[in-house]
Chains A and B, each alone.
Chain A
Amino acid sequence: MKKTLSYPKKKRSFTFVTFSVLSVFCLLAASWGYIFIAENASFFGLFTEENYLFAKKFLSSLAGIGDNDPAFTNKESWIHALKLTYETLQMSVMAAGFATVTALLTVIPADRNVADGTLTLSKRWYRWILFWIIRGIYVFSRAIPELVWAMVIVFILKPGILPGALALALHNFGILGKLFAEIIEDIDMKPIRNLASSGASNAQILFYGVIPAVMPKFLTYILYRWEVIMRTSIIVGFVGAGGLGQQFKLSMSFFNYTDITLILICYLILVAIADAISEGFRRAAR
C-alpha cells in the first residue's frame, strides 16, 4: 500500500474577484429572468409561422424580389447614395477633428502627473480642482451616447452635417480626453526631468519632452476613434443629423426596402474603407 501524503488544502477566501464572479451570476440570472418572466418574452414564440412569413417578406423586399426597379440597380439612386456617403465621410472627419482639438486643448490639466506637479516640477493649489473638473466633464461627455447628444443638438441646430458632427464629437471628446490623459500619465519621466533640470520652461518641456513622446500614440487612438465614428455616423443621422443615416430613416418609414439595401451597401463600403485607411496610416506612422 502506498503511503498517503498529507497535502495542503486549498485556501478559500472571499476576495473582490469572488464577489465579482458572484455578482455576474446574479446579474445574469436576474436579467434573463426578467426578460422571460416580467416581460413575458417567449423565445420559441419568435418562431411562429407568422413571424417566419414576416421575416421572409422583409428579407425578400430587402433583396428587391418583386420590385421591378430596385434602388441598387438604379443609376439615380446610386448617385444620390454616393453623395450621401461623401457627406457622411466629411461628417466623420469633422467629428474626429473637433473631438481631437477639444481634447488636446483640455488634456494638460487633466493629467494626474500635471496635477500633482511631477511633470512640471512645480505645485499649484488650484491644479487638483481643475483636474477633477475636467475629468468630470470627460466622464459626462462620454457617458452620454452620440445619439442622445444628436437628439439634443437638433433642437438647437438645423438638420445637416454639422449637428451630426457635433454630436459625434461631444461623445468622443470625453473618450479621447481620457485616453490622451492616460498616455501622458504613462510617459517616461527621465527625459522630462533632464529637460527641466537643464532649465527648460513649461512650454519647452511640452514641445520638446511631452509632445514627441506622446504624438504617435495619440495618432493611433485618433485613427481608431475615427473608425468607430465612421461606424456610428449612420446612427446620428436617424434623428435628422444628415448623411446616410437620415436617408436610412426616411426610407425605413416609406418602406423603401431596396433603398435600405443600397444604403447598407454604401455604409459597409465606407466602414471597410475607413478600416483600411486608418490601418494604412497607423502602419505609415510606425
Chain B
Amino acid sequence: MGKFLYFLTYYKKSLLTLLLILIFVWSLFSVQWNADLLHPGGGVTTKQIFQALLAPDLSPEILILALESTWITLVYAVAGMSIAIILAFFFGILASGVLSTSRFNLFAVSGFFRGILGFTRAIHELVWAWLFVAAIGLSPFAAVFALGIPYGGILGKIFADMLNDIPEEPIKALETAGASKLQTLLYGYLPLVRANIISYVMYRFECSVRSSAIMSFVGLGGLGYQIQLSLSDLQYDEVWTFLFFLIALVVLIDAWSNLLRKRMVL
C-alpha cells in the first residue's frame, strides 16, 4: 500500500498525462470511422476550397465590400470592449473585495460578484447574441451587449484576480500614510495592475474582433455575414477574401499589442 502511494506520487505527472490520453482515446470511439462521414461530393468540394484559397476574389467590388464589413466588425468589437471594460472595472473591484472593510463583507460581496462574473462568461457571446436578438430585435446594440457582457465577465475575473495578487506591503504603506480604501485603489491597486491589465485587454480585444465577426450568424452585419452569404452561393474565392481581411485585422491588433507591451513601463 505504501509502495503504491509512493508510486502514485512519484509518477503523478506521467499518470495524469496517461489519463488525459486515455480520455482522448475514449472520445475517438464516439465516431464511426468510415467513408460515410464524408458528403458524396466532399472530395471535390475540398479541392475547390483549396483552389480558391490560392486564388481569392480580388475584384474591386469585393474588396470594397470586405473593407466595409471589416470596419463594421471592428466597430462592434470596439464598442463591445468598451462596455466590457466598464463592467469589468466595477464588477472586478467589487469581486476582488479590496474595498471591503469587514470579513463578512469580503465573503458576501466578493462571492456574489464573482458569481455574477462567472455566470456572464460561462455563456458564449454568440448565445448571448441570439438571446438579445430574440429579446430586442436586430439592433447593433444586440451585438454590442452580446460582446460586452461575456467579455466583461472574463476581464472582470482576471482584473479581480490581479487585484488580489498585489503584494500587500505597498498598500499597507499607503494606509499608514493615511489613505482611505478608495485612495489605496487610486494610488496603489490601479497603478500596480495597470501594465498587466492593459496587455490582457489588448489580447482580449484581438479575440473580440473574431467574436464580432461571427456575430453575423444571428443576422448582424460584418465580415461573418458576408462569409455566410458567399458560402451559401458556393463562392469560395470570395470567402477567402473576407477571411484574409479578418486575418489581417487580427494580425494588426496582435502586432500593436506586442509593440505596446514592449514599450510600456511597468
Contact = CB atoms under 8 A, between A and B. Distances in A.
Q: Establish whether A and B are touching in the complex (CB under 8 Å).
A: yes
Interface of A: 15-17, 20, 27-28, 30-32, 34-35, 39, 41, 43, 46, 51, 54-55, 58-59, 87, 90-91, 93-94, 96-97, 100, 139-140, 142-145, 147-148, 151-152, 155-158, 160-162, 165, 215-216, 219, 222, 231-232, 234-235, 238-239, 248, 252, 264, 267-268, 271-272, 281, 284-285
A268 B122 contact: yes
Contact of B12 (A142, A144, A157, A284): A284
A157 B37 contact: yes
A129 to B, nearest CB: 19
A239 B79 CA distance: 26
A150 to B, nearest CB: 10
Q: Which 4 A-B pairs have the closest CB atoms?
A: A97-B24, A93-B27, A31-B78, A143-B247
Which bucket holds chain B's interface residue count?
35 or more
A234 B127 contact: yes
A239 B231 CA distance: 12
Contact of B126 (A238, A281, A285): A238
B256 interface: yes
Given A35-B79, A54-B136, A264-B127, A161 B251 contact: no
B-side interface mostly: helix
B140 A35 contact: yes
Interface in B225-246: 227-228, 231, 239, 243, 246
A163 to B, nearest CB: 9
A219 B264 CA distance: 30
5 contacts: A31-B76, A34-B71, A46-B139, A156-B49, A161-B30
Contact of A90 (B27, B42, B75, B139): B27
Interface string B125-157: 011001000111101110010000000000000
Contacts of B137: 51, 54
A153 to B, nearest CB: 10
B30 A156 contact: no
A261 to B, nearest CB: 11
A69 to B, nearest CB: 21
A155 B49 contact: yes
Contact of B140 (A15, A30, A41, A51): A41
A59 B213 CA distance: 27
Contacts of B247: 139-140, 143-144
Contacts of A27: 74, 78
A264 B12 CA distance: 36
B136 to A, nearest CB: 6
